[in-house]
Amino acid sequence: MPRRQQPKPYHHGNLRRALLDATVELAADVGAAGVTLREAARLAGVSQTAPYRHFNDKQEMLAAAAEEGMVLLLEALQAGIRGAKGDPDAELVAISVAYVRFALDHTRYFRLMFGHGSPHKSVTPGLQQAGRAVFQLLLGIVARSLKKPPADPAARQAMFRIWALAHGIAVLALEKQILFDIGTDALLAATRQAVAAQLPL
């Protein structure tokens, strides 16, 4: 989506939006590490210090963009489990596949959220909260699969195993640590298979 080339009034109109778009754009290759406050300002057609009107510093700008990505991830995961109505084990496979698929489909956001230079979740309450929502969604399914309360240590451990599996696949795929080629379909199939092998928890 290319941004309009307006006659450029003194007030930008929606600078915050433009800066967040620029942030995601710049994160495409290297992740948050490739994002520069000055370059984002340039893309938004604004002076180098204008971003400070909207964010206290670079970390907050990154965190705001990562938060948007986290909300997108949450929605993708929720949509993913919709197919497996009710059955927790089917939901676990579906949510894991959705996680890896999100990493492949929204690479720029995923890199921004988890790649090089990504902001710590503690930077912003909003980012932390969005991360917690994803966490809770997964934990809830695991708990139902185990028929234990979410607070149970066993549930947390099991959740961690599933998450680590999906996250590990996504990260290795994105960072090209995979020394052999593997297509999208094969990757999703591998995810399905790997998670299924963990069941029943």
Q: Which residues lie near DNA (CB under 7 A)?
A: 10-12, 15, 35-39, 41, 46-50, 52-54, 57-59
State the binding partner of 197 from DNA, a copy of itself, none, CB within 5 to 8 A by kind: a copy of itself
Cβ proximity to a copy of itself: between 5 and 177 the closer is: 177
State the binding partner of 37 from DNA, a copy of itself, none, CB within 5 to 8 A by kind: DNA
State the binding partner of 161 from DNA, a copy of itself, none, CB within 5 to 8 A by kind: a copy of itself
**Residue 1 makes contact with a copy of itself by CB under 8 A:** no
Cβ proximity to DNA: between 7 and 183 the closer is: 7
For the segment 23-62, give every residue that binds a copy of itself (CB under 8 A): 33
> Which of 114, 123, 130, 146 contacts a copy of itself by CB under 8 A?
114
**Residue 167 makes contact with a copy of itself by CB under 8 A:** yes
Per residue, the 3-state secondary structure of the chain, as one string, reads CCCCCCCCCCCCCCHHHHHHHHHHHHCCCCHHHHCCHHHHHHHCCCCCCHHHHCCCCHHHHHHHHHHHHHHHHHHHHHHHHCCCCCCHHHHHHHHHHHHHHHHHHCHHHHHHHHCCCCCCHHHCHHHHHHHHHHHHHHHHHHHHHHCCCCCCHHHHHHHHHHHHHHHHHHHHHHCCCCCCCCCHHHHHHHHHHHHHHCCCC
Question: CA–CA separation, 51 vs 132, rounded Å?
Answer: 27
- Residue numbers at the binding site for a copy of itself (CB under 8 A): 33, 114-118, 120-121, 131-132, 135, 156-157, 160-161, 163-169, 171-172, 175-180, 182, 186, 190, 193-194, 197-198
